């Protein structure tokens, strides 16, 4: 049903700029580097490539991007309100490839 403005009553989910979220989650040292990563086209949101650093992301979105010689896959679980310590930043996402990384380790020789 349409509200007083004539628009349907859809609820807007809270979002944050992609570059700002990457910076707050401490994946990159600056927002400029985060913006460059997105602008270069090396980042996907829910499987769709983006070149917009200002793309809105929210809880539940899955980001895929190269970082430090590896491909990172993370699900956003919270939007930060500041760039806090690393322990706080880790609460902003679930690392979806963490289990896969531990399986790839080479067992020690006996």
pTM: 0.79
**pLDDT score at 106:** 45
Q: Give a yes or no: residue 36 inside a domain.
A: yes
Q: Answer positive or negative: Cα dihedral of 23, 53, 36, 44.
A: positive
> How many structural domains compose the chain?
1
Q: Which domain holds residue 66?
A: 16-103
CATH number at residue 23: 3.10.290.10
**pLDDT score at 109:** 52
Q: Give a yes or no: residue 110 inside a domain.
A: no
Q: What is the pLDDT of residues 23-78, one digit of tens each?
A: 999 999 999 999 999 999 989 999 999 999 999 999 999 999 999 889 999 999 99
* Residue 37: closest CA among 25, 50, 47: 50
Q: Give a yes or no: residue 8 inside a domain.
A: no
Instruction: Tell me if 46 sits within 8 A of 1, measured CB to CB.
Output: no
Q: Give a yes or no: residue 109 inside a domain.
A: no
Q: Give a yes or no: residue 79 inside a domain.
A: yes
Q: Which two tokens stand for residue 87?
A: 């322990």
Q: Give a yes or no: residue 6 inside a domain.
A: no
Element (H, E) at 41: none
Q: Give a yes or no: residue 5 inside a domain.
A: no
């Amino acid at each position: 049903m349409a509200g007083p403005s004539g628009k349907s009553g859809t609820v807007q989910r809270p979002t944050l700029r992609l570059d700002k979220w990457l910076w707050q989650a401490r994946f990159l040292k600056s927002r400029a580097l985060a913006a460059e990563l997105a602008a270069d086209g090396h980042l996907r949101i829910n499987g769709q490539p983006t070149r917009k650093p200002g793309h809105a992301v929210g809880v539940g979105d899955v980001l895929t991007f190269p970082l430090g010689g590896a491909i990172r896959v993370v699900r956003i679980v919270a939007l930060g309100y500041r760039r806090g310590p690393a322990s706080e930043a880790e609460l902003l996402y679930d690392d979806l490839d963490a289990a896969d990384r531990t399986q790839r380790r080479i067992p020690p020789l006996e």
